[in-house]
Amino acid sequence: MRRKPTIRDVAAAAGVSRGTVSRVINGGHWVSPDAREAVEEAIRRTGYTANHAARSLATGRAGSLAFLLTEPQHLLFQDPTFALLLRGAAEALAQRSMTLVLLVAGTPAERANVAHFVSAGHVDGVLLISSHESDPLVDELLEAGVPTVCCGIPLGHEAQVPTVSVDEIASAREMTRYLRGRGHRRIAMIAGPHDTPGGKFRLVGFEEEMGDDFDPALVEEGDYSQESGALAMSRLLARTRDIDAVFAASDLMAAGAVTTLRKAGLRVPDDIAVAGFDDSGLADTHEPALTTMRQPWDRISDGMVSLLLEVIDGARPAPLMLPTTLVVRDSA
Amino acid sequence: MRRKPTIRDVAAAAGVSRGTVSRVINGGHWVSPDAREAVEEAIRRTGYTANHAARSLATGRAGSLAFLLTEPQHLLFQDPTFALLLRGAAEALAQRSMTLVLLVAGTPAERANVAHFVSAGHVDGVLLISSHESDPLVDELLEAGVPTVCCGIPLGHEAQVPTVSVDEIASAREMTRYLRGRGHRRIAMIAGPHDTPGGKFRLVGFEEEMGDDFDPALVEEGDYSQESGALAMSRLLARTRDIDAVFAASDLMAAGAVTTLRKAGLRVPDDIAVAGFDDSGLADTHEPALTTMRQPWDRISDGMVSLLLEVIDGARPAPLMLPTTLVVRDSA
DNA sequence: GCGGGGACTGTGACCGGTCACAGTCTTACC
DNA sequence: GGTAAGACTGTGACCGGTCACAGTCCCCGC
């Protein structure tokens, strides 16, 4: 087996210098048509492929981005949302001939490793997923000067780091308005963790839209997981049965709520309407299919990648806010 | 901002040569205790971290493995199994200071890209997930001499590529035996795709254990997804109501089957018992909690990584077969 | 006819490691 | 006391690209 062809082999085959080959590869400016043609032909003939490592070494760029998950593990397993984002990001990067490196920072040991790895410059930037408030990891990344974009406005770090997000407040208001429009008045909310943007702002939107009808006794908090949704619903039911709709801050929690309601002998949506948030894969196969707010997952992951590349190029891009859409199905 | 310290900075700080520093970093053989100490101290003081790209270039190793998904996308979204494997692999690699590159080969265009990328040597090896029979990608990888290990015996490529798998036949027999032990006689099977090992061999085990009681009319095939499980169950019910248990080749399909049964007014497990396979995250939060065969996901991903590293080192390791365990919950 | 500028090309240094090899310095043994 | 083996160390070449710089060539205008 002969070794892989290098840029010198191509240069020799094309009868030009390494420099010219390099120029052709990188856009081909200031190269004569003849030379360009010869080089392209030579590349084809030799089956040349650029060596990532060598290029990285010379340019000082890694050619890869990290997809950094900071959630506790059980969420990674359960939440289809992560898979959606992950796939979108991988696709967006593949289009740009870059690669996606998956990093999981669950345990403290993992966090240390990850921080070290990233600061060492093994990746050009970080796509930070779902960070809780005042996450020290964000500080570390910022301090180390690692280009970073967040998914969802990182509480406690607003304006310090570019973000891609949806308008949580407006989205929550829209869903609430929809539920009220269907005649529901005693609407409960199963919010997300109050130290996450989705937990905080969806609740704000809900409260704003409910106005005088807002009843703090009808709010419970979960951690986005199915189980936490089921438990939150139990707590609500234990307090009062005077509820005609539930708005959960994630589809997973909505599904958990449905389970609890069913056990309590309540029908969805006949007795109580249930709405979710995310439109994760689970929503439309769920029984009953969940009414939810769709987050534009592909645009989010694509936006994160674009933004991050801008940051890497030295820009300070404005935060990107994307629209959600109400998806009405059977549960509400 | 000063530039990152290199091995030469460390050498200067420690008062030794680059060679010695390099030796310390790589295990420290043939280095005097004094020198080693000085180098370690210098590394600490300078905050030195090895440059991946430079090392790759010099050693000819990428220092990363690809996690290659060949399933159509909708499965990636739904199946918690992938997340389990992915996390396990990422963890196993992090322990070895290597990184995980995620590759998705869904569309033909993506497959071409992936093949090109991998053959170019940008990763040291490939963890191949869930490949259907006679997948041309396997051939391409094999032909290109890319170290590869599969998850589940790749039909049509047995013995050509090292694999990590569970004993599908024995596992299916155990579950079938359990169901029969509970007094069920008319047991239906919702099998996986017949061109996947899980689809083929779980059915074989089922058939073997059923012996004379095996009824081909009670077998339907799904694609492991929840929806396909629901549809398969519908087809079974349309054919006969004389069924007292269903064995699905995945938890997702089991969940789908439960939905269909419920719609048909049948109670699980009272009227019909339902068993799944995988013990994916969903199984124990499902309502009712699913009886299933647990696959040892962490050992599988860890085994794949170990095996792949052996292959990369030139070994030809024996296939690894891991045990499953019957997990009895509420559904059967 | 000459100077100057734009288009194109080639060269050598460099990125930050590893590795083979050629030392040097001990120690041990005859 | 000489020598050889073993322990340790330093050096230069090399991995495969990129980039800055220095040419070279050609065309144009004065």
Q: What is the pLDDT of residues B285-311, one digit of tens each?
A: 888 999 999 999 999 999 999 999 999
Q: Average of pLDDT values for B107-136? A: 85
Q: What pTM did the predictor assign?
A: 0.91
pLDDT of amino acid B210: 97
pLDDT of amino acid B101: 92
* Rg value, chain B, Cα: 25
pLDDT tens column, A262-321: 999 999 999 999 999 999 888 988 889 999 999 999 999 999 999 999 999 888 899 999
Q: What crossing angle do the helices spanning A226-239 and A251-263 adopt, rounded to 10°? A: 50
Is pLDDT above 50 for A1? no
For residue A80, give how far its alpha carbon lies from the nearest alpha carbon of chain B (Å): 6
Tell how strand B245-248 and strand B273-275 pair up: parallel
B131 contacts: CB under 8 Å, gap ≥ 6: B70, B137, B138, B150, B152, B154
CB contact (8 A) between residue A52 and residue B62: yes
Distance, CA of B135 to C1' of D17, in Å? 35
Is pLDDT above 70 for B105? yes
By C-alpha distance, the chain A residue nearest B288 is A259
Q: What are the Cα distances from residue B99, in Å, to A129, B71, B87, B89, B301?
A: 18, 22, 12, 9, 14
The percentage of chain A sitting over the pLDDT mark of 90, rounded to a whole number, equals 70
CB contacts, 8 Å: B62 with chain A = 52-53
How many Cβ contacts (< 8 angstroms) between chains A and B?
Answer: 124
The answer to whether B130 and B69 are in contact (CB under 8 A) is: yes
The answer to whether A148 and A142 are in contact (CB under 8 A) is: yes
pLDDT of amino acid B66: 95
CB contact (8 A) between residue B282 and residue A78: yes
CB contact (8 A) between residue B285 and residue A76: no
Q: Answer for A30: CB within 7 Å of strand C.
A: yes
The percentage of chain A sitting over the pLDDT mark of 70, rounded to a whole number, equals 97
CB contact (8 A) between residue B49 and residue A82: no
Q: Answer for B30: CB within 7 Å of strand D.
A: yes
Per-residue tokens: B134: 């006679």
Is pLDDT above 90 for A142? no
pLDDT of amino acid A161: 87
Which residues of chain B (36-55) touch nucleic strand D at CB < 7 A?
54
Vertex A99 angle, CA A143 and B305, to 5°: 100
For residue B100, give how far its alpha carbon lies from the nearest alpha carbon of chain A (Å): 6
pLDDT of amino acid A74: 63
Amino acid occupying residue A257: A
CB contacts, 8 Å: B54 with chain A = 53, 57
Q: Answer for B51: CB within 7 Å of strand C.
A: yes
Q: What crossing angle do the helices spanning B108-119 and B136-143 adopt, rounded to 10°? A: 20
Shortest CA–C1' contact from A6: which nucleotide?
Answer: D16
Shortest CA–C1' contact from A5: which nucleotide?
Answer: D16
Q: Average of pLDDT values for A151-178? A: 89
Q: Average of pLDDT values for B40-55? A: 93
Q: Answer for A32: CB within 7 Å of strand D.
A: no
The answer to whether B155 and B127 are in contact (CB under 8 A) is: no
What is the C-alpha separation between A108 and A25, in angstroms, rounded? 43
CB contact (8 A) between residue A101 and residue B103: no
pLDDT of amino acid A76: 66
Check the CA dihedral A70-A73-A75-A77 and report its sign: positive
Using DSSP's 3-state secondary structure scheme, residue B292 falls into strand
Indicate the pLDDT class of residue A75, thresholds 50, 70 and 90: low
Is pLDDT above 90 for B78? no
Comparing CB atoms, the residue among B80, B91, B256 nearest residue A77 is B80
Q: pLDDT averaged over chain A?
A: 91
- DSSP H or E stretch at residue A257: helix A251-263
Amino acid occupying residue A139: D
Q: pLDDT averaged over chain B?
A: 91
pLDDT of amino acid B121: 87
The set of strand C positions with any atom below 7 Å of a protein CB reads 7-12, 14-21
pLDDT of amino acid B198: 92
On the 0-12 / 13-18 / 19+ scale of CB atoms within 10 A, B220 is buried
CB contacts, 8 Å: B104 with chain A = 87, 90-91, 94
Comparing CB atoms, the residue among B1, B103, B259 nearest residue A287 is B259
Taking each continuous run of H as one helix and of E as one strand, the counts in chain A are 14, 12
What is the C-alpha separation between B170 and B12, in angstroms, rounded? 61
Q: Average of pLDDT values for B50-55? A: 94
Q: Average of pLDDT values for B143-167? A: 86
Q: Answer for B16: CB within 7 Å of strand D.
A: yes
By C-alpha distance, the chain A residue nearest B286 is A259
pLDDT of amino acid B73: 64
Beta-sheet strands, E only, within chain A: 64-69, 99-104, 125-129, 148-151, 163-166, 187-191, 219-221, 245-248, 273-275, 292-294, 320-322, 325-327
pLDDT of amino acid B285: 83
- What is the maximum span of chain B, computed from C-alpha positions, in angstroms? 83
Distance, CA of B29 to C1' of C27, in Å? 19
Using DSSP's 3-state secondary structure scheme, residue A140 falls into helix
Residue bearing tokens 């265009």: B109
What is the C-alpha separation between B304 and B287, in angstroms, rounded? 33
What is the Cβ-side half-sphere exposure of residue B28, based on CA atoms within 13 angstroms?
10
Q: Answer for B95: CB within 7 Å of strand C.
A: no
Amino acid occupying residue B313: D
By C-alpha distance, the chain B residue nearest A85 is B77
Distance, CA of B24 to C1' of D7, in Å? 15
